[in-house]
Amino acid sequence: MGKNLHKHRSRTIVEGLTRAPHRAFLRSTGMDEEAMRKPFVAIVDTYGENAPCSMSLNQVSDNVRLGVAAGGGVPIRGTAISVTDGISMNHAGMRMSLVSREIVADSVEVFVRAHGYDALVGVAGCDKSLPGMLMGLARVNLPGVFLFGGAMLPGVAPGQIPGVAMRNRQATVLTTIEAVGTAQRGDITRETLESIEKQCTPGAGACPGQFTANTMAMVAEALGLAPLGSAMVPAVYSERIAISRRAGETVMRILKSGGPLPRDLITRKSLENACVAVAATGGSTNAALHIPAIANEAGLRFTLDDVQRVFEKVPLIGDLQPGGRYLAQDLHHAGGVPAVLNALLAGGYLHGDVPTLEGLPLEEALRAFPGPDGTVVRPCGEPLSDNGGLVILRGNLAPDGACLKIAGLKSLVFSGTARIFECEEDCMAVVAQHRYAPGDVLVIRNEGPKGGPGMREMLSVTAAIYGQGMGEKVALLTDGRFSGATRGLCIGYVGPEAAMGGPIALLRDGDRIHIDAQAGTLNVELSDEELARRRAQAAPFSRGHMGGVLEKYEALVQPANLGAITHSGAVDWPYEAPTPGDTA
């Protein structure tokens, strides 16, 4: 692994007569001759004051810096942007969310390759910054380590709220989002809603359920890119200081030994392990979008078809919100991600021979950690459900697949009548005014990667439905995305999307739609002839000019079943040796 690695790409920057201007710049940053003889290690985070999940990353990066220095490297920090779905949701700003994943990956590549750095520690804390950072690590393929900033602690809700499940009055931002629907229905007062709002998010860190951030942090451990046991430590725990320092020391050890590199760790087996962990814990449906995108950066084609093959055979063993009872803090105290992986390994669902950052095969590295506690994490022989927490659906309405989180659902079969909305706002207006009925299938189209553009997620709509007590009385179907916090009969990523001429574009009010998560099917009660007739009559998709980053994104983005990627495959960046004969 990594045997052809040149350990000091930074020599291109500092060695030779013609590099005097480069060294002058480095001196202005505080480097001296001794520092310039050491390897340069990039520490790239998504720190920002825009969200609680980003605010805690400064301390993580500062302590990584100490570990790099202790290991004999020169730590150099850089920062990429992040978008928080908590603020961008339910308005046009959500179009920027998935786009930000690509911007983070691009920022890592540009920062690292432009300056000739020798290694990389990536630090992220939010839904799209995590996969973006993992994609960046795979793309540059230098000695690298990923660190999650950690989840926030839960807040406290003011008493029992009708329609909102709580355990010991624990509250998260999802409590507030769903309470909006409860307030719209008149079951709680505005004052109660305001009290929930003020108490549900008490500090820094990512949303604490098994939503997208924690799901992707688990994926990072399963892929071997993050230290085992690091993901579920809450953001405010001092344990994160030691984890961060050790991560800096780890990247220096990998740099000195020559591996494993990210693409040594991201293999078909480790990608399958990541899918197993997601399904077994009822993780975010967004993982079905991000895992193929990470694979693409490593030069592997891993599509929704591959994700489906794994999801179909995994039991649900993690009792985690939103479908279950517990939060990231509870999973940490129950043994963290290794407890999940040990349970899956013992059940025969995991590849134990994949490499890890620790330099050991996964099976051997996991021996240092506990197995399932029996409550937060069940043994595979005593699952919460024989079906994993997520399923991929296919049929004449979704030839390229669609994704449904079934963890916590009471029924896996639903038939209903289509109500068509051309965008999220139109549906939200109807839901807010309770102008829908049991048995409806609310269809939101034109929200796919190209159609949005940007593939917005519909958490506000789904949470309002749940808060109004209609969570499993209606279904919601979209070519857009759902939040990791979404629960209920919510089917996303329907492909092909409407903008690409998928069958979802042909639906009309009153069509009968059949959902069967047990059989894995999603169909509309229309003949092939009727679908063909409607297709012949359909007008081409059109939307006003978007401009800016969305214009570029729309031109490049590929379908959701391929991960909504924007470029094709891994590219190796050649090492450039100092100019021959150019002496210092």
Over residues 243-284, the pLDDT tens digits come to 999 999 999 999 999 889 999 999 999 999 999 999 999 999
Tell me, what amino acid is at 421? F
In the three-class reduction of DSSP (H, G, I as helix; E, B as strand; rest coil), residue 122 is classed as: strand
Quick one: which H or E segment has residue 315?
Answer: none
Task: Give me the pLDDT at residue 485, please.
Answer: 67
- The whole-model pTM stands at 0.93
The DSSP secondary-structure symbol of 454 reads S
Instruction: Centre a 10 Å sphere on the Cβ of residue 34 and count the other Cβ atoms it contains.
Output: 8
d(CA 452, CA 449) in angstroms, rounded, equals 6
d(CA 354, CA 170) in angstroms, rounded, equals 37
Task: Give me the pLDDT at residue 545, please.
Answer: 80
Task: Give me the pLDDT at residue 421, please.
Answer: 97
Residues catalogued as catalytic: 483
The CA-atom distances, in angstroms, between 306 and each of 269, 309, 314 are 11, 5, 14
Task: Give me the pLDDT at residue 392, please.
Answer: 94
Angle at 139 between CA 569 and CA 60, to 5 degrees: 150
Over residues 463-500, the pLDDT tens digits come to 888 778 888 899 999 999 987 667 788 999 999 999 99
Contact 104, 136 (CB under 8 A): yes
Task: Give me the pLDDT at residue 579, please.
Answer: 58
Contact 100, 129 (CB under 8 A): yes
Sheet holding 40-45, edge to edge: 74-79, 40-45, 119-124, 144-148
Tell me, what amino acid is at 188? I
Task: Give me the pLDDT at residue 183, please.
Answer: 87
Percent of the chain with pLDDT over 90: 78
Task: Give me the pLDDT at residue 160, please.
Answer: 52
Q: From the DSSP assignment, how many helices (H) and strands (E) are in the chain?
A: 23, 14
Angle at 199 between CA 196 and CA 203, to 5 degrees: 145
Listing DSSP states for 500-561 in one string gives GT-GGGG--TT-EEEEETTTTEEEES--HHHHHHHHHHPPPP------HHHHHHHHHPPPGG
Please identify every stretch of the chain with a pLDDT value under 50, giving residue numbers as ranges. 1-6, 163-167, 584
Percent of the chain with pLDDT over 70: 95
Q: Label the pairing between strands 475-478 and 390-395.
A: unpaired
Region class of 450: left (phi > 0), else alpha (psi between -120 and 50), else beta: alpha
